[in-house]
């Protein structure tokens, strides 16, 4: 089944567009997983701790939000043991009924691009992601092999268009029209062949909430493209700043929160709460915030 249709159905079923980023910053994990940041501990034990923490988050996310987004960098810090933790986390999230967007931001040319698509969307068995993030810098011939994999497997892509970091304009704003707009028009075009019954494509775009005006403009330009919106929460944007990214009815966009959910226990106001209780409250607060904000659309 087409990825765009699957994510749309999951969003409708859960009644919210919240995406939980699984970013296991070793230094931020709760004390009970402290072995993860101990370089003298066996790496397999460290990776196991990362996995256990994330399985706890998945338990909280399941049935509440449509999807999770594991970030590969933090797993890669633990080498092959981290790769095993990644596989287990992805598989468990899918078993729990969550869609999984692998935040890998890969890019390469020709057969190498295809190999990345196969790695994350085709060859990994029960650890296949439903979609991955990809970087457009290399051009259309670096994305086409990935689109072919999506076409075969009902998987999706989110192409970086405008990222949420403060310095994203350095290259993304270059030229007239700005590079971002050129990338956006290509993404919309690349997605034409993979549109689902919902009218949106399986080829999505990453557009940061930290540039709310641009988000609205890009939403116009990307009229059949689902958005993945980072920048909410710890990065500074509120639900209001993301509204320009949605289609009527609160469709067509997912908003990510990573640190704000996973490390909610570190906030002063959650002092004394168990990390699970703090994370659950943060998930419920985010969901309520979006239900309210999207109700006004």
Q: Is 40 in the site for a second copy (CB under 8 A)?
A: no
Q: Total number of residues binding a second copy (CB under 8 A)? A: 60
Q: Is 145 in the site for a second copy (CB under 8 A)?
A: no
How near is the Cβ of 123 to a second copy at its closest, in Å? 5
* 24/245 with CB nearer a second copy: 24
Question: Does residue 196 contact residue 8 with C-beta atoms inside 8 Å?
Answer: yes
Q: Is 189 in the site for a second copy (CB under 8 A)?
A: no
* 24/252 with CB nearer a second copy: 24
Q: How far apart are CA 201 and CA 179, in angstroms?
A: 22
Q: Which of residues 215-244 bind a second copy (CB under 8 A)?
A: none
How near is the Cβ of 198 to a second copy at its closest, in Å? 28
Q: Is 116 in the site for a second copy (CB under 8 A)?
A: yes
* Encoded tokens for 213: 């005006």
Kindly tell me which residue out of 11, 71, 225, 257 binds a second copy, with binding defined by CB under 8 A: 71
Interface segment toward a second copy; rule CB under 8 A; list 2-10, 77-85, 214-222, 279-287: 77-85
Interface segment toward a second copy; rule CB under 8 A; list 76-84, 194-202, 236-244, 272-280: 76-84
Q: Which of residues 94-113 bind a second copy (CB under 8 A)?
A: 105-113
Q: Is 140 in the site for a second copy (CB under 8 A)?
A: yes
Q: Is 139 in the site for a second copy (CB under 8 A)?
A: yes
Kindly tell me which residue out of 3, 33, 53, 120 binds a second copy, with binding defined by CB under 8 A: 120
Say which residues have a Cβ less than 8 Å from residue 271's Cβ, sequence separation at least 6: none
How near is the Cβ of 211 to a second copy at its closest, in Å? 13
Instruction: Return the active site residues.
Output: 105
Is 158 strand, coil or helix?
strand
Q: Is 174 in the site for a second copy (CB under 8 A)?
A: yes
Q: Is 1 in the site for a second copy (CB under 8 A)?
A: no
DSSP for the chain reads --HHHHHHHHHHHHTS-EEEEE---GGGS-GGGGGGG-TTS-HHHHHHHHHHHHHHHHHHHTTTSSEEEEBHHHHHTTHHHHHHHHHHHHHHHHHTT-EEEEEEEE---HHHHHHHHHHHHTSSGGG--SEEEE--TT-HHHHHHHHHHHHHHT-EEEEEEE-SSTTTHHHHT-TTTTHHHHHHHHHHHHGGGGB-TTS-BSEEEEE-TTSHHHHHHHHHHTTT--EEE--BGGGSB-HHHHGGGPBGGGBSEEEEESHHHHTGGGSGGGTTS-HHHHHHHHHHHHHHHHHHHHHT-
Q: Is 175 in the site for a second copy (CB under 8 A)?
A: yes
Site of interaction with a second copy (CB under 8 A): 23, 25, 39, 71, 73-74, 76-84, 86-87, 105-113, 115-116, 118-120, 123-124, 127, 135-142, 160, 163-172, 174-176, 179, 182-183, 186
């Amino acid at each position: 089944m087409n990825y765009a249709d699957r994510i749309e159905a999951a969003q409708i079923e859960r009644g919210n567009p919240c995406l939980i980023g699984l970013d296991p910053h070793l230094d931020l994990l709760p004390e009970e997983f402290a072995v993860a940041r101990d370089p003298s501990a066996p790496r397999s034990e460290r990776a196991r701790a990362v996995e256990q923490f994330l399985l706890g988050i998945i338990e909280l996310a399941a049935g509440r939000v449509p999807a999770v987004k594991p970030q590969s960098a933090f797993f890669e810090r633990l080498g092959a043991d981290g790769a095993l933790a990644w596989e287990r986390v992805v598989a468990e999230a899918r078993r729990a009924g969550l869609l999984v967007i692998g935040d890998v931001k890969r890019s390469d040319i020709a057969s190498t691009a295809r190999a990345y698509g196969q790695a994350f969307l085709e060859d990994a068995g029960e650890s296949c992601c439903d979609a991955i993030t990809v970087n457009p810098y290399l051009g259309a011939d670096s994305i086409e092999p990935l689109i072919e994999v999506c076409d075969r497997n009902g998987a999706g892509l989110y192409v970086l268009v405008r990222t949420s970091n403060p310095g994203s304009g350095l290259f993304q704003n270059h030229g007239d029209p700005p590079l971002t707009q050129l990338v956006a028009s290509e993404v919309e075009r690349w997605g034409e062949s993979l549109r689902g019954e919902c009218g949106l494509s399986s080829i999505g775009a990453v557009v940061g909430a930290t540039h709310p005006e641009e988000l609205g403009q890009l939403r116009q330009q990307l009229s059949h493209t689902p958005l993945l919106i980072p920048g909410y929460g710890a990065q500074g944007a509120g639900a209001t700043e993301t509204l320009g990214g949605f289609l009527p009815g609160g469709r067509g966009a997912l908003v990510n929160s990573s640190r704000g959910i996973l490390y909610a226990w570190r906030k002063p106001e959650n002092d004394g709460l168990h990390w699970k209780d703090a994370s659950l409250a943060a998930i419920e607060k985010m969901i309520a915030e979006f239900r309210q904000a999207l109700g006004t659309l």
